[in-house]
Structures are given as C-alpha cells and as structure tokens.
Amino acid sequence: MGMLFSLRGRTSRLGYWRAYLISAVLIAVFWALGLFAILTVGPAGGVLLLGVIPGVALFLATTLRRLHDRGKNVWWWALFMAGPFFCAAVANLLVSRETTAAALASLPFSLGGLGLGVWGLVEIGFLRGDPGPNRYGEVPAVGH
C-alpha cells in the first residue's frame, strides 16, 4: 500500500493504467457523494469531498513513477501536468477580451495546451519504459 503513494521508483504501463483507473473511480465516487451531501445536508456535507485527495495523490504519484520508468524527472511531470492548464488559462484570458485579435492570439496557447496534453498522454501512457535499470531503479515487474 505504501508503494502506491511513493514518489520513488518506477511503474510499468500496466501498473500506471491500473492506478489511473482506481484513482479515477475513487475521485468520481467521492466527488458524487460530496456533491450529493452538499445538496442534501448543506455545506457541511462538503467534508466528503476530502475523499478525492487520496485519488489525486495516487494519480500524481503513479504518474511521476511512470515518468521515472521512462527515465524522466519531476520537471517533465510539471510540464505535462501544469503546462496544459497554464496554456488554457492564458488562452481564456485572451478570449475574455472579446476582440478578434485576442481570439487569434489565444490560438497558439490553445493548440500548445492540446499538444502538451497529447504528448504527455503518449509519453506516460503508451511508450515503453527504459529497457534496463535507470537512475530511478530496476525495471518494474509487470503490473507494478
């Protein structure tokens, strides 16, 4: 269980997708329960939203370990996780000016965010890890 949230070591593609599925289900369940609780008992029901934290932590830790399997460090993690959000924020800021020039200026940021998201998905979810040991550890067992 401790390895699930560890930021050290490597994770295989299969291990990544398994953890991704678990974290997505965990986040969805607690998000739905939290929103239902808010609607039925009021703002105090929002405490159930804290249940999404383990799902997010599992996703982030597994993603970092998967990048380790590819021989990449935490800066790649920041690029693939924060880059698309940064690009979207800049694009939205430009579009909110409601001019044609600003809308056109937002296009490179929108496309850049999309490109970073797709690149990250391919890099993390589909490409093979380093074939042998790397600076982050031994080759992970299948499913880990």
- 83-106 pLDDT, tens digit per residue, is 999 999 999 999 999 999 999 999
**Given this model, what pLDDT does residue 95 score?**
95
Cβ partners under 8 Å of residue 137, min gap 6: 8, 9, 10, 68
Name the pTM for this structure: 0.89
- 61-78 pLDDT, tens digit per residue, is 999 999 999 999 999 999
* pLDDT above 70 for 111: yes
- 26-58 pLDDT, tens digit per residue, is 999 999 999 999 999 999 999 999 999 999 999
